[in-house]
Every structure is written in C-alpha cells, then in structure tokens.
Structure 1
Amino acid sequence: MILLVCAMSWPLMSWGASDANANDTGMNGANVSNNSDSATITDIKQQLATLNLPQQRIDFLLQQLRQSAQWPIEQQGQLLHLLAIEQEVNSDLVAAIDSYTQAIKLLTPHPLSQELVKSYLERSFILYLQTNDTQVYCPDREVAITLARQLGNVDILAEVLAQSAYCYNKPSDFGEGLKRLNEALALAQQHQLGLSRQAMIFNATAAIYRDNGLNRKAYEYFNKAYGFWEQAQDKQDMFNMLHNMVGESIKLAMWVENKAHLAQMQQLVEQSPEFADFDFFYQFNTGISCWAQGLFQEGIDHFLRALAVQDTTQEKYFVDATHAWLALSYFRQQQPNKAFKYAEIFSGSATYDGHSNELKLMIAAIIDYANGSSNLGMNKLLDTIDLQKKNFANIINNDVVNSSLDHNLTVAEFNNRLLEKQLAINKLNLEAEIDSQKITNLSMAIAVLIALVLLVVVIFLWQSRRQFKRRSQTDYLTGIANRRHTFEQGKKRFYQAKKHNRSLAVIMFDIDNFKAINDHYGHDIGDLAIKACGRRARNWLKKNDILGRIGGEEFLIILPDTEQAQAVEIAERLRTSIESNQFVFNDVKMNFTISVSVAMLTPQTHELVDIIKQADLGLYQAKDNGRNQVVVVDH
C-alpha cells in the first residue's frame, strides 16, 4: 500500500519556499520603493522598521491609511501594499487578500511599479494556500510575469518565473515549466542573485519533477534547495524542504532517509517555538510515514495530534487531508464508524476539489460502504486501481513526457534560442531518470494492486454481513421497514418521547377495497399498488421518522417530535396524493384510495402498542364512514 501515498499531493507549506518563499517575498515587499516614492511613504517605511510586534505594525499602517484620503492615488496603493504584507505575516489572510486587491486596483492605472507586481504575486500565494487549485491562483502569476518583463527588475523577474513554473506541472505543458525555470536560473547565475533565489528555483524544479512522477529527481532537487537554505540558516525553508523530502522518500521507499528527515523536522520543532505550525506538519508527516509502512494505529495517533494543533496553521488543505488519512487509517484498523466520521468531514471540506482523484475515490468508497452501497463502494475501489494503473503508465511511458518536451522545445527555440541547449540537457536527464525508475514503479504498482484487491475482499465480507442485517430489517416487497423492525424502532422513539416529554404521532393507513383490486386485476397489480403506497408515503417523512409495512396492504408511520396538527396535515397530503393520481401498472391504468387514522401520545399512554390500537380503531372508523378519509382519534 506504500505507493498509495502518491495519491497525496505534496504542495509546500505556507511559511516556506513552496509556491513562493513567503519570508523572502514579504521582506522584499516591505523594503521595495520606487525612486519616485514621496517622502511620506519613505517616512512610513522608516517608522515601520522601529515597530517589533506584527499587530503594532498593522495598527500603525491602518492609522496612516485613515489619514491618506488626500494623498495621491499611487501612494495610497503603496500604503495598502505595505498593509497587506503585514497582514499576511500576521496570518490574517482574508484581510491581506483584500488589501492586495485594493492595492492592485489603485496601482494599475499608474506607472508600472514593483508594488503592483508583488501584489499580484502575493495575492496568488494566498489563493494557493486557500485552494491549492492552479486554476484559481495561476492567473495572477501570468499577469505578474507579463508586468515583471516590462518592469526590467532582474530579481523580481527571476522570482516570478520560478513561481509561475508551478502552473505548468502536467505532462502536456511540462516543457514550459522547465523553460521558465531555466530562464530564472540563468538570470540568478548571470546577475549573482544569491543562494536564496537559486534555492527557490531548485525548489520549483523539484516540484514539477514530483508532479510528473519523477520522484528521485525531485528528491535530489529538494535536497539541493535544503542545502542552500541550511547555509543561510533559514529554518522556515529548511523545514519546508524536509516536508517535501519526507514525501518523496515515502514514494521511493527510502525508509532510512525518511526516518532521518523526520528526526530533523522534530529537532526544528523543538528549536523553533516561534514557528507554531511546525508541530502540526511534523505530526502530519509522521502519520503519513506510519500509514505507508502499515503502522496504522501509530499513524492515527500522530494524525490526532496534528488535529489537536490545527489552529496553528493557515493551510486548511493539509488539515482536510489529515481527516482523509484518518478515515483511511481507521478503516484499515477495522473501525468503520470512525472511518465514516472523518470521511464525511473530508468530503464536505472547502479544499476537497484540490485533492487527488485517488484519495477522493478511496474516501467515497468508505462513505458508500457505510451507507450500505457495497456495489458503488467496490466500483470506486476498482476505479482507484484503474486510475493508479493509468498514472503508472503515464510515468513509465517515455512518449508522454518526450512528446511534451519536443513540443515545448520547439516553442522555446522560437521564443528564446539561448535556452535551447539547457532544455536538451534536461530532456536527456528526464529520459535517464524514467529508465532508472521503471522497475521500481512497476514493482510498487503490483504491490499496490495486490493490496487493493485484498482490501476489496475484506470490505466485501464486512459489507455482506451488513447487508444480511439490513435485509432482516426490510420488507421484501416495498423496501421499507418490515413489521418487526418498525415496532423495534418505534419503541425506541416512544420511550425517548416519554422520557423527554416530547410529542409523538402515529399514522396508520391501508388501501381501500384492496381485495377487489386483487380479484379484478390480479395479485401482481395488487403488489405494485402496495409498492406505490410505500413510495408515496416516504416522500412526506423526515429523516428520523419511521415508515413500515405491518400487514398485507397496511402501513404504519411513527412521527417523533410531531404535533397533532402536523400529523393530520401529513396524513391528508398522503391521502390526497393517492386519490388524485392515476397509476399505471404494467399498462393497466387504475385509481384507488386509502383510509388513514392519526393517534397521539398522551400522558395516559404507557406503551407504543396502546397508540397503535387507538390508530387501528380510527382506521376501522374511517372504513365505516365511507373510506378515503382521515380520522383523528381523540383519547
């Protein structure tokens, strides 16, 4: 089951050089100033530098913003950009994205500035944190790269190129991502932009290798980026790279390296209390590692510890992923109720669409089994197997990657012939990497398929037991509760109502002149009439209500927390819906009616059977009064 971790995407964390180096971006943004900045903005930046606490800096900028109504519009936009940076550092992402949006609106009509480019870039980073969806956060990056080329600032252009490469991580556009990274690396080397910028480029390179299944190459580039940030003692980005190397070492079954990286993460957690979300990601990564090695209970313990500190991180994508992996872990531990609980939380999460299809299929299978849909659940597991095989085929098939590279090399030659040589080298490296991973990927694919088949068998046996129990509670003809189950559940509702002094209503109904229907049309038509009554009755009920067939054509409805007026309204709607409808059964058109009685729980009622007896008497009264009517039994 190890390779199922591949279903989990490994985007980087909010405080690292994932999609963008958050610290690097924030500091550059705070110190950026155009030559045309007025003394007012310059003075504000100088005063800002004297304040240590994030909230103090935000309050100061908000005060300045309230006094800026008469400033030039461009300076108001620059002030909003400064405010957005501080809000982002303070993890107030909703306010930050609003401030960046306002800054973009004010700065766009004016001469191109670094603040405008940075605002687009930082807004895209927050959208990445919130959604992990390239269709949401990448449009801002495309605007930023166009503006950065016009601006002529080499450092900003290299940063934008590296971040925009994340938007081209599929086989169909893999070459464009490499092209942008090569251009960024050439700028960094030519202009000596520093280790951090080169590390960011290596990080982005590793990410698109990872997303295309070239895990060993991805691991190597993440390790290179880690080395640069270690030299700079940048703990945030060191931790990010460890997070990524843990993910890649799991996919490559490099358990010695995996254990070492987790130990390094734990050490950074202990050494860096100022980074509150380090512990969440350490627990999350350890849980994934345990799961991949079959240590499901240990994985559960770490996932629960991660959820206990989930408020320390802004990355809801990983919080939601924790719920998904908890569901899978509990399921493997044969605790289906807990598995269903966390599967439901994950399936309703805001980041659900951004997760891998394999993970969503496995969670959907758990939900289907919990809801009694064994066939749907098994089909989803089989779909997961098919999707895994397709992914492996895409990774192993040289033609997929090579055709993409060939196409993009042609585009690269047309647009920038200076990059042609480097792209050719990357193509050769890719081919060598694919060849070296074929055997590993095939072996892991076989292991995954065998494990999934065994899981399907276990789940099928478990589900068969659930189905047997369900059939013993269900009326064979109508699919609703049978007499025994109706009375068992009805007694539970009755005693709850008595205990908590709540209302409870009972509706009893049967088909008028049913013997005549059988005699005239035949018993097969009579059975269809009974089934039609059951379906109609189900339309008017709440989730906690009980509907059962207790005799040949006789039905019983138990309505907890229902007053008499509500029960009478439901009964009348049911009677009217039957009376006003012409039914067609096997080309036989017919009309029929029902008689209905309503009885209520009273202080004098001691058992459910007492109410049912009253309802039965009411039903006889409805028949005596001419049928096709609702009779309310007064105690």
Structure 2
Amino acid sequence: MPTIKQPWVPSQLAQRARLASAILAIVFGLCGATVVISDPGSNPAATHPLFELDCRAGGPYDADARLQKLEQWRSVAGPEAPELQGQWLYCRATALEMTGELDAAYASYTDAIDAFGRLPEPAIGAIKALLDRSYIDYLRSNDTARYCPDRTEALRLAREIGDPEALIAALNQKAFCFARRPEQLAEGLALLDEALELAQAADMAPGELGMIYNATANLYRQNQLLEPALTHLELAYQAWAEEDDRQDMFNMLHGLIQASTRLGKWEDAERYLARMRELTARSPSFEDFPFFIELNAGTLAQARGDHAEAILALDRALALEHTTPERYFVAMAQSMLAHSKFRVGDVDAAVGHARAFLESTEVERGTPELLAAQAIVAYGEDRSLQAMQRLLDMLDAEQETTRQRLQRNTAGQAAIHNRRLEAFESTILRERLANRDLQLLQAQQSERNARLFNTLVGVTAAALLVLVAFLFWSGRRFREHARTDALTGIASRRYAMELAERLFAQSLSAGRPLAMLLLDIDHFKQINDRYGHDIGDRAIRSTTEEVGKVLPADAVFGRMGGEEFMIMLPGVVHKEALVLAESIRRKVSEHSIHVDGIAVDLTISIGVAEYIADITRLDELYRIADQALYAAKHQGRDRIAAGAA
C-alpha cells in the first residue's frame, strides 16, 4: 500500500497568534496554505478565500468542482503574488491528483514549489507541496532515489521554520527513506522517536500517532524485523480507528496481512482479511479497496500452496485493476498469476501474465519475480536451455534474497542494540561525572579537615578530644551523604546498587524470589523546559514521596540519576511485582503539583523484571527491566511493561 499521506492541523494557539500579531508564517490547517506577510491589512492576497479551502488530496470535496472553482481565480494567482500563486497551484495539484491526472498534478506541485520559493521566508506550503510531489514519485517508482530528495528538502525547511506539525510530517515521511538500508535503521528510528516525542508533547490527534507508528512498522518490516512491525501496524490501525480514518485503517490491514503471511501466521492473516472485507463493505466510496482485498486473498492462498484459490482471487483483482493508480501492485498480481497458473499446468495463460509483468515499468531488475517470469516465457517458447538458466538464476537470486534478509535482520537487531548501548553509555558517563564531583567534594572535605587539624596541633588535650569528635562526626556525615540522594533523601545510585547486589547474591544462593522495578517520570524534559528546574526538582521529590507511600518496608528505593529510579523487592514474585507497579503508577498519576495555581499532572512509566534461575548477574536483571521500561515508553508512557529473559 502507499506511503501514508497525512496532513497536519495547526493548533488553535497558532491561529490566534496569526490574528493577533501577524507573524511571518500563516498556516491554514489541512490545506497547508502558507502566506508570508508583514501586515495582514497591507497584503490583500492574505484574505483571499482560496486560503480557506480544504486542499487535501482525498479531502471532503468534489475534485472536478474544485478545479472549476479554481479556474475562476486563475487571473489573480499570478507571479506578482507568489503566496497566492503557490496556494492556487497547490490546491489545483491536489484536485488533479484526486482525478487521477498524476502527470498534471506533479507539474502543478512543481510550479507551487517554485512559487513558494520566491517568498522572502520559507513557507509551510512548500513543505506540503514537496511531500505530496514525493508521494507521486513513490506511486510511480517505489524508488527511494526518486522520492526521497523532496523529503530531505521538506525536512530541512521544516526545521528552519520550527512549526511542530510541519516538522512531524516531514520527519515521518523522511523516515521512509531509511527503510532499505539496515545500517541506517537507527537513524530512521531516531527521526520517528523525535516525531513521536513532538506529537505527544503537543497532545496531537491519534491520527498523527498512527502516521508515526506506520512509518516505524515500515522500517522494521523492510529490515526483516516482522514481529515489531506487526506490533506497530496494530498500534497504527487502532490510532486511525479512533478517528474512523478508513483509508489509513485499510492500509494498515494490508500491511498486517502481508507481514502475518510472511511469518506463516495464517489464522492472523485470515482474521485481518475478514476485517478488511468488513471495512470495505461499509466504505463503498473507496474504489480500490476491492482490488486490494483480492490481491491479499491471492497472496495468502499462494503462500499456503492453494494455487487454484490464488488464481480465482488474483483474476478478480486484475478485473479491478482500473480502480487503482498503484501500478506496482497490479504488476505484482500479474507476477503471482503467472506463478500459480504455471504451477497448475496452464502454461499459455502463465506466459501471458509473465509477459504482462515484464512489460510493466514497475518491474525491478534482478528480482526473483523478474527471473521467474523470464523462465516461464522461455519455457512457453520452447527455449528449454534459457528457461533452465533463468530458473538457476532465480535460485541464485532467492539465495541472495535470503542472505540479504538475514543480514538485514542481523543488522537491524544490531542497530537497535547500539541505540540502547549508546543510551546506557550516556548514563554511565553521567554517573562517572557525578562520581568525579563526589570525589572532588571528598578531597575538599579532607583538605579542610587537614587544615583544621594543623591549626589545633599543640593545644590542650581537651581541644584534641574536640577535634577527634569532629573528625568522627564529619566522616559519618560524609558517608551518609554518599549513601543518600541530596534532593530526595532516598538511596543514591551507588548505595542502591550496593544494596541491590546484596539482595541479588542472597536470591542467587538461596533461590529466594526477587523483583526489580525501573521507574522514569514521563515528559520530564518538557516539565523542566516549561516550568523551570525548581518545578522539575519538586516533581522528582513529589514522585519519590508518592512512591514511598506504597512500598513494603524491606524494599530498596534509590534514585539512579535525573528522573529515573530503581526499586528492589526481595521475596516478591512476578505477579506481585506487577500489582505493586500498577499501584505505584496509579498513586503517582493521582497526585499533582501546583505552579502559580496551575495543576501539573505527573505520570511515570515502569519496567518490571523478575529474577529467575537463568539470570546469574545483577546487570542482566537490570537490562531486562531497562528493556521493559523502554517498551513502556514506546507504547505511549503512563504504563507498566514486563521484561522477559
């Protein structure tokens, strides 16, 4: 299915700011309009009704009627008013795209980009036009070399403008460009992490999150990490279902069927296909839905070896090919039909479909599908040697494809591991800096003690006793300082890890249950940035107090640095740890801190890990809990997740 085209909707705050101060960038919601002005009253183009139109491709309007309306305004959308001209060209391009005139739409997007480029400041309209033009390149070629340059430029403009909605859209679309190079998986995921963080901070609609989940699934799927791909496709489907966005729901079902089929999860694929049929039945306005139903049914049947059923479904799909502009999938239907008809002995029909596939411009050179089609044609023309050569070439290509899939899977797993390792190393570096500061404090304290001792040398025995008492008190206080976190009063990281090692050693020797919880305050950076570090400190203290209210007496509770905490629970099994974690999460979420009369709500994410016999080191238990915490964060925060060894 195509890359999701997702418009962004500027916030009401941005719209009020436009009216109040006439700032440079004016954003009109889903149509993506942008006008750069110094004063709304001095620029008549800024008030033109064109800017009030919903210009989305796929928006709730009649495309032919829209084109007629735009022709009425052609004379005023000249080069002397680049903002108006750019918007006119953009609206015309989206309407042309809806009518299926992709060449004309592409040209109009290009002209819109040129018009917006004549403005004195970067325009959000240019970002929209670049992303939509890249989408047409995607439909035509499915080639990153064709559609990614526009997305790179759109991301550059979005960062320069700084509009959150535009930046999220550009980040999301750019991430698709890293789907086919496993060594760049971490870079693509980093873009999507940034987009997800922006969307959650801005409390954007579920559809925005769905767009990001879909892009994440695409990265995982292209790198043969199909299980996480399925998870994110389901998340995207649920997000768009909240808005009843049927096109995007359908797209996610397509991805779920394809991934489930590749994993051999036939029942799951059948369930998703049934869901796709139900969605199509209540969405008659989406003309190409039936084509993709039959394509997916044929794909599933062929994967299960039922070639007769595959032929029926794929024949029905080709009968509907006029309903979809996506020629790549039409070509794949021809390829699959050639394969299945050859397998049932219908050689003449198989040759016809193979030739149709080979004549398609969407055919990728050197693929197993291409070689199989060439082998079928050669066999049908009694060129046995060439057919056998193509068959052997296809076997070589399949082996190469399998090797590349294994490499992608390995490289993808390594990229994810490296991301986590970098985060862990960053934490270690922060701890080393904290330890260095602690050592400096210790050295300074020792120096003060030495000066005091030298001053008191030679005084009376009573003074010496006072000095001894002082040194004893000072040393004890320093030890307490090293063991206690100054901000919260709970165990410091070093002391908490020391106690955790003791508890782990006891569990290791006696087989006693032990659980570890890792907690992290959600959106802590936004709290610091918005309210200041004093409020951030209050948030940390408040979280510590609320968590302490529900902990058992023998629990070890320590601050690991920043907004992260660790809890060790001796004698607690996995189920009890999950129940306690949920109590902690609920306790924190029910408590707010107040800033100038405004309540600031706090939530936390928790990762839970349980000691089992296979775990022989504390750092293994810590890693499992940290992975669970990462999963809780990635699933939307304010939740708990259980780790697995």
TM-score (structure 2 length as normaliser): 0.58
Q: 1:411 Cα deviation (Å)?
A: 10
Work out whether residues 186 and 419 of structure 2, in 8 Å CA contact, stay in contact via their aligned partners in 1.
Answer: yes
Tell me the distance in 1 between the aligned counterparts of 2:50 and 2:264. Answer: 49
Residues 1:120 and 1:31: Cα distance change in structure 2 (over 3 Å) = closer
Look up the match of 1:173: 184
The question of whether the paired residues in 2 share the 8 Å contact of 1:30 and 1:85 is answered with no
Are residue 32 (structure 1) and residue 43 (structure 2) matched?
no
- Residue type of the alignment partner of 1:123: R
Please say if 1:115 is aligned against 2:125.
Answer: yes
Partners of 2:356 and 2:29 in 1: how far apart? 39
- Preserved contact between residue 35 and residue 46 of structure 2 (Cα < 8 Å): no
Partner of 1:94: 103
- Aligned-partner Cα distance in 2 for 1:24–1:323: 40
For residue 89 of structure 1, what is the amino acid of its counterpart?
M
Structure 1 residues 46, 118: closer, same or farther in 2, change over 3 A? closer
Equivalent in the alignment of 1:282: 293
CA 338–23 in structure 1, closer or farther in 2 if over 3 Å, else same: farther
Evaluate the alpha carbon distance shift between residue 312 and residue 399 of structure 1 in structure 2; reply closer, same or farther with a 3 A threshold: closer
Letter in 2 for 1:100: Y
In the alignment, residue 86 of structure 1 is paired with which amino acid?
Answer: A
Is 1:195 paired with 2:196?
no
Q: Residue in 1 aligned with 2:561?
A: none
2:306 corresponds to which residue? 295
Q: Is the 2:176–2:188 Cα contact (8 Å) retained in structure 1? A: yes
Q: How do 1:368-383 and structure 2 match up within 5 A?
A: 368-383=378-393
Q: In the alignment, which residue of structure 2 is the partner of 1:55?
A: 64
- Select 2:143's aligned residue among 91, 112, 133: 133
Distance change >3 Å, CA 22–CA 386, structure 1 → 2: farther
Deviation track 1:85-111 (CA, whole Å, cap 9, x = no partner) reads: 222233322221111000111211322
1:194-213 correspondence runs (5 A): 194-213=205-224
Residue 341 in structure 1 maps to residue 340 in structure 2: no
Cα 1:140–1:343 change in 2 (3 A) is: same
Task: Determine the structure 2 residue equivalent to 1:606.
Answer: none
Deviation at 1:193, TM superposition (A): 2.0
> SS at the partner of 1:172?
helix
What displacement does 1:378 show?
A: 2.6
The percent identity for this pair of structures is: 33
2:48 partner SS: helix
Call closer, same or farther: CA 1:47–1:389 in 2, change over 3 Å.
Answer: closer
* Residues 179 and 72 (structure 1), Cα distance of their counterparts in 2 relative to 1, 3 Å cut: same
Is the Cα–Cα contact under 8 Å of residues 128 and 136 in structure 1 kept in the other structure?
yes
Q: Report the AA paired with residue 66 of structure 1.
A: S
Letter paired with 1:30:
C
The 1:322/1:402 distance shift into structure 2, 3 A limit, reads: closer
- Which residue matches 1:69? 78
TM-superposition CA deviations, 1:12-43 (whole Å, max 9, x none): 23xxxx34337989994515344637444543
Aligned-partner Cα distance in 2 for 1:407–1:162: 22
Is contact 2:33–2:87 with CA below 8 Å preserved after alignment?
no
Q: Cα–Cα, structure 1 residues 213 and 287, in superposed 2: closer, same or farther, change >3 Å?
A: same
1:138-149 equivalences in 2 (<5 Å): 138-149=148-159
In structure 2, the CA distance between the partners of 1:131 and 1:47, relative to structure 1 (3 Å rule), is same
Worse-superposed segment, 247-256 or 44-53 = 44-53
Q: Which residue of the partner structure matches residue 228 of structure 1? A: 239
Give the counterpart letter for 1:101 in structure 2: T
Alignment check: 8 A CA contact 1:284 1:306 kept: yes
- My pick for the range that moved more, 390-399 or 341-350, is 390-399
- Larger RCO (alpha carbons 8 Å, 6+ apart): 1
1:241 alignment partner in structure 2: 252
Residues 259 and 391 (structure 1), Cα distance of their counterparts in 2 relative to 1, 3 Å cut: same
Q: Which amino acid aligns with 2:50?
A: K
Residues 24 and 389 of structure 1, relative CA distance in 2, 3 Å threshold: farther
Given that residues 31 and 45 in structure 1 are in contact (C-alpha distance below 8 angstroms), is that contact kept between their aligned partners in structure 2? no
Task: Within 5 Å, give how 1:234-633 maps onto structure 2.
Answer: 234-353=245-364, 357-396=367-406, 400-401=411-412, 404=415
* Pairing partner for 1:43 from 45, 48, 69: 48
CA contact (8 A) 2:89 2:112 kept: yes
What's the CA shift string for 1:393-441, capped at 9, x where partnerless? 44445653355557888999999x99xx99x99x979xx9xxxxxxxxx
TM-score (norm 1): 0.59
Q: Distance in 2 between matches of 1:291 and 1:193?
A: 41
Task: Give the equivalent residue in structure 2 for 1:82.
Answer: 91
Task: Output one character per residue of 1:117-146: Cα deviation in whole Å (capped at 9) or x when no partner.
Answer: 111011001110111111111111111111
Q: Is the CA contact 2:50–2:87 (under 8 Å) kept in the aligned structure 1? A: no
Alpha-carbon distance in structure 2 between the residues aligned to 1:387 and 1:70:
53
User: Could you say what secondary structure the match of 1:126 adopts?
Assistant: helix
Q: Which has the larger radius of gyration?
A: 1
Aligned match for 2:115, one of 90, 102, 106: 106
- Provide the secondary structure at the position in 2 that maps to 1:351: coil
> Residue 165 of structure 2 aligns with which residue?
155
Instruction: Indicate conservation of the 8 Å contact 1:327/1:339, yes or no.
Output: yes
1:267–1:23 CA distance, 2 compared to 1 (3 A):
farther
Q: 1:29 touches 1:118 (CA, 8 Å); kept in 2?
A: no
Cα gap change, 1:156 to 1:314, in 2 (>3 Å): same
Local SS of the residue matching 1:352: coil
Q: Distance in 2 between matches of 1:22 and 1:129?
A: 18
Aligned to 1:215: 226
In 1, distance between residues paired with 2:28 and 2:389?
51
Does the 8 Å contact 1:29/1:85 carry over to 2? no
| Residue equivalent to 1:457 | none
Distance (Å, rounded) in 2 between the aligned partners of 1:413 and 1:28: 40
Distance change >3 Å, CA 219–CA 70, structure 1 → 2: closer
